[in-house]
Amino acid sequence: MTVIGVLPLCKPQSRRILDTIITALRSLLIVALFLATIGYFGFSFRLPQTTLVLLVGCLSVALPLWFVGLQQLQLKRTDGTLIVGTDPNQIEAAIQATTKPIVGYTYTSTHSSEDGRETQLSTDGGTEKTAPKLAKFERVGELSVLDEVLKQSNVGTVVPALPQTDRAEFFGILEACHRHDVSVEILDEHNESVLVKEEQAVAAENRSNLVGINLQPWDLQNRVCKRLFDLVFAGLGLLCALPLLIGIAIAVKVDSPGPVFYTQERTTQFGETFQVYKFRSMIPESESAVPGDDHDRITRFGRLLRKTHLDELPQLWAIIIGQMSVVGPRAAWTAEEQLLQDEIQTWQKRWFVKPGLTGLAQINNASSETPRAKLQYDLTYIKNQSLWFDSKIVVRQLWMVFIDVISLLTSRMSSRTDRETGT
């Protein structure tokens, strides 16, 4: 049963270490539940409880270590470089910049070069004309097959050779490389939009014309601790707040016509998008991407929700399913995100971690109305993240919520006293 459960992990392909551990433990849990079910129904060949507990306990340590070890042995053999580009000139520049063996390149479209030469690249059934310096390298396909190419054990580094760092292509490549635990290096011209490795690490790689991207700003220990913290905090939060969630839903419906939840497309890690859910605090169809211009459209009950931050409670579910974290840069609306990118070139550096329910910028009152200060706080958090740092931010946020609630109650009591005195 255990062999069948972990069989998908036996297929050789690049994976993140954390993904390997989680997949092994999830498969083992399914096996344990199946065997426990057999024992529950009293079959003659059931596994004794003590044996099952000891078996699962030992395998929960041994299997992840085994598969991580096999992966590391595999990754030591992955020293080839894949160039991913849309322009032959930039592909050539990337090939000249790297010193690792080139396993090939992907090419997505055709462009006319400035010197007038032919730049159409050969396809399986298309033309045979290629840029001269690319003729000796293999074209492995287009950008659409990048996932399949990265599963091969001979690709250890990807160099995106793209004209600009747009969300659709550049950060899509980074997301695929992060998913397959493949390193990424870029030409110097793009280093303003990404998190690069420390200068010492760059020097150690001996890459004078390429810069290594830091796809995983935090080490494995911090990532595991952070994920466990997210699950415990969000799980307990949803469990304790369940009666409150029901009451808020009823109050939102009674206060104004419209849906209970407000949904909005927001940006998450590597420029991907997801739907964020909040209790509706505004009149329907009144949202705007321009920061700070929506205060006149907030409902009466919505003001209370925003003041107490209770409208954010549904986002705990997004934390549980892994779309968000408890602490991190605040997820921006995709329309607002574009405005902020136009204003600040380095804004995309926030995309290298999951967005958070709260964060260093939030507790320091830095919002999209002050984007430069917000970005600085977010980058400071990314650089210094730890379980202790997250805990301090959460405690500070809860204290701020408590102060806001006390202030609201005091204001209401004062207003009530003034009305009674006046009568």
Has residue 329 got a pLDDT over 80?
yes
| Low-confidence winner among 101-105, 199-203, 210-214, 259-263 (lowest mean pLDDT) | 199-203
- Residue-wise pLDDT for 147-205, tens only, equals 878 876 677 788 888 877 666 678 888 888 888 778 888 877 666 667 776 644 444 44
Residue 186 vs residues 215, 216, 280, 322: alpha-carbon distances, Å: 12, 16, 42, 28
Question: Hey, what are 186's tokens?
Answer: 């870029």
**151/146 Cα distance (integer angstroms):** 9
The whole-number pLDDT of residue 96 equals: 81
Q: Is residue 353 within 8 Å of 326, Cβ to Cβ?
A: no
Tokens of 135: 């003729």
Higher pLDDT, 54 or 422: 54
Instruction: Give the whole-angstrom CA distance, residue 161 versus residue 194.
Output: 14
Percentage of residues of the chain with pLDDT beyond 70 = 79
Q: CA 306 → CA 119, 252, 303, 311, distances in Å?
A: 56, 12, 5, 6
| Mean of pLDDT over the chain | 78
Residue 163: its pLDDT value, please? 73
In degrees to the nearest 10, what's the CA dihedral of 213, 217, 219, 220?
-90
User: In the predicted model, what is the mean pLDDT of residues 268-289?
Assistant: 79
Of 227, 191, 232, nearest in space to 212 by CA:
191
Q: Per residue in 95-119, pLDDT tens?
A: 888 877 888 888 876 444 444 444 4
Output the pLDDT for position 283.
Answer: 81
pLDDT score for 184 = 85
CA 365 – CA 369 distance, rounded (Å) = 10
Domain ranges of the chain: 2-75, 81-212, 220-414
- The alpha-carbon radius of gyration of the chain (Å, integer) is 26
Of 25-34, 139-148, 311-320, 336-345, the range with the highest mean pLDDT is 311-320
Integer Cα distance of 279 and 312 in angstroms: 7
**SS3 at position 268:** coil
Interval 253-268 mean pLDDT = 87
What pLDDT sits at residue 346? 81
81-212: CATH topology is: Rossmann fold (3.40.50)
pTM, two decimals, is 0.70
For helices 49-75 and 17-40, give the axis angle rounded to 10 degrees.
Answer: 160
- CA gap 423, 413 in Å, rounded: 16
Q: How confident is the model at residue 233 (pLDDT cuts 50, 70, 90)?
A: very high
Higher pLDDT, 27 or 293: 27
C-beta of residue 119 within 8 angstroms of C-beta of residue 152: no
Question: What's the pLDDT at 162?
Answer: 80
* Sign of the dihedral through C-alpha 45, 46, 50, 52: positive
The better pLDDT of the pair 247, 18 is held by 247
Q: How far apart are CA 300 and CA 280, in angstroms?
A: 11
pLDDT band of 358, cuts 50, 70, 90: very high
How confident is the model over 13-34, as a mean pLDDT? 78
pLDDT at 21 over 60: yes
